[in-house]
Structure 1
Amino acid sequence: MDEALPPAPYHELLGITLLEWRDGYAKLGLAAGRQHMNRSGIVHGGVMLSLIDQAGAYAGLYCTVPGNIRRAVTVDLDCRFTGQAGEGQLIAEGRIVTAGNSVFFTRTEVFGPDGKMVAFGAGTHRWRRGSNTPEGVPVDAPVERG
């Protein structure tokens, strides 16, 4: 990732950090705190679903040209909760399962502070125009809507 590019605003809101990134793989971290908990005192399922979505999407968005960017939209997402997590470091690892010309499919696993899997899921993502190649597009290129 080009360090000159700002982080995604949603990542900032949740506190998600990009730990490792290469073509077909992304590893994200989140220091879960009180603000991420539900009323039962465990990490809210929406936080885990967000990690699944973001790590999967980022797996398909690695860009080989500094200063360029790749973009995508999520068209389908599922999640299975396999455990619970409290405060501490969550890790999400997203991988591309397969990719075509305009769509890529991902699988993501989320691990709790103790290293045990707490959720996994799959996503279907559609690249935005020009983002289906590793070179991406200039960061200021217009983004198609709709």
Structure 2
Amino acid sequence: MKNKNLFPMLSVSEVNELLKQEEIFNFIGIEFEKLEKGYSRLKFNFNEKLTRIGGILHGGVVFSAVDYAGSYAVRTLDKVKDGVTAELKINFLKPMKEGPFTVEPRVISEGKRLVVVDISAYDGNSNLCAKALGTWVVYRETNSETQLSS
């Protein structure tokens, strides 16, 4: 049986290895723990280099982790080859001071070209610290690609 997208062919460890090519992924220390259809979960540890004045995690770091998590939840959907963020809104609810931090996205609406994802970010005490909603434009495998790769 043919795989419908890239990620059923790759384990979580293979995805983590692939993403080590991206400097920001390495700098933040992101590690995916789970990839399922329409869902992913990543974690990263507290690091003083990722904080702003006051010792809390910088909002840009949280935003980047949220974007990675949402993007890879989208890539688990049927026939999705790639996806790019079209829009991403985040509400910071509590300061993130203690890790490890967890980010969990869930696809809540899947259209032909647009996918909407609800994303939650938690601190090391399981407190909900940020809530995001994003839209991704997806690029799907075409029928001709399916036939060529069968």
- TM-score bucket of the superposed structures, by smaller chain: 0.7 to 0.9
The yes-or-no answer on 1:7 pairing with 2:15 is no
Structure 1 stretches of at least 4 aligned residues deviating more than 3 Å after TM superposition: none
The yes-or-no answer on 1:73 pairing with 2:87 is no
| Deviation readout 1:49-105 (Å, 9 max, x if unpaired) | 11221111111112789xxx8321101000001101114200000000101111100
Tell me the residue number matched to 2:104.
93
Within-5 A mapping of 1:115-130: 115-130=126-141
Q: Going by fraction, where is helix more abundant, 1 or 2?
A: 2
Provide the aligned length of Structure 1 versus Structure 2: 130
Give unpaired runs (5+ residues) of structure 2. Answer: 1-6
Query: How much has 1:126 moved relative to structure 2?
Result: 0.6
Tell me the residue number matched to 1:41.
55
Q: Percent identity?
A: 24
Q: Distance in 2 between matches of 1:70 and 1:27?
A: 19
Q: Distance in 2 between matches of 1:129 and 1:27?
A: 22
After superposition, the CA RMSD in angstroms is: 2.4
SS of alignment partner, residue 128 of structure 1 = strand
The yes-or-no answer on 1:113 pairing with 2:127 is no
The yes-or-no answer on 1:29 pairing with 2:43 is yes
Query: How much has 1:110 moved relative to structure 2?
Result: 0.2
Q: Distance in 2 between matches of 1:35 and 1:19?
A: 23
Task: Tell me if the contact between 1:52 and 1:120 (Cα under 8 Å) persists in the aligned partners.
Answer: no
Task: Tell me if the contact between 1:28 and 1:92 (Cα under 8 Å) persists in the aligned partners.
Answer: yes
**One-letter identity of the residue aligned with 1:105:** V
Task: Tell me if the contact between 1:37 and 1:44 (Cα under 8 Å) persists in the aligned partners.
Answer: yes
Tell me which of 74, 77, 80 is aligned to 1:60.
74
Q: Distance in 2 between matches of 1:128 and 1:120?
A: 26
Q: Distance in 1 between matches of 2:35 and 2:49?
A: 26
For the pair shown, the structure with the greater C-alpha radius of gyration is 2
SS of alignment partner, residue 121 of structure 1 = strand
Q: Distance in 1 between matches of 2:92 and 2:78?
A: 34
Give unpaired runs (5+ residues) of structure 1. Answer: 139-146
Tell me which of 83, 87, 98 is aligned to 2:94.
83
Structure 2 length normalisation: TM-score? 0.77
